[in-house]
Amino acid sequence: MSAAYLVGHVTVKNDDKWAEYRSKVPATLAPWGAELVFRGTQAASYAGEMAHPEIVVIRFPDQAAVDQWHRSAAYQALVPVRALAAEVVLTSYQA
């Protein structure tokens, strides 16, 4: 079993809604054994352009956990808040 990483590239549109979303996501991650690896803001670009200045990386035990978390009722309830809060591209990677 190999770890899977969820990577979110983010452009915040509404700071208050983004704060609300961020405050609620951790509770949705806990049942899937996920942990925040890091969150940051782009400092420099050395090749190409990134459309979104912020990033978040979350480690899951495996790809199945990412899929189950994303489909979960708890996370899906936050998707409308996320849509109001930010432009987000979510992708997963296996290590």
Give the CATH number for residue 80: 3.30.70.100
Q: Using one digit for the tens of pLDDT, what is the confidence trace for 66-88?
A: 999 999 999 999 999 999 999 99
User: How far apart are the two ends of the chain, measured CA to CA in Å?
Assistant: 10
Q: Shortest CA distance to 8 belongs to which of 71, 68, 70, 54?
A: 54
Task: Provide the pLDDT confidence category of residue 1 given band limits of 50, 70 and 90.
Answer: low
| The model's pTM | 0.93
Structural domain total, the chain: 1
- Residue 46: inside a domain, yes or no? no
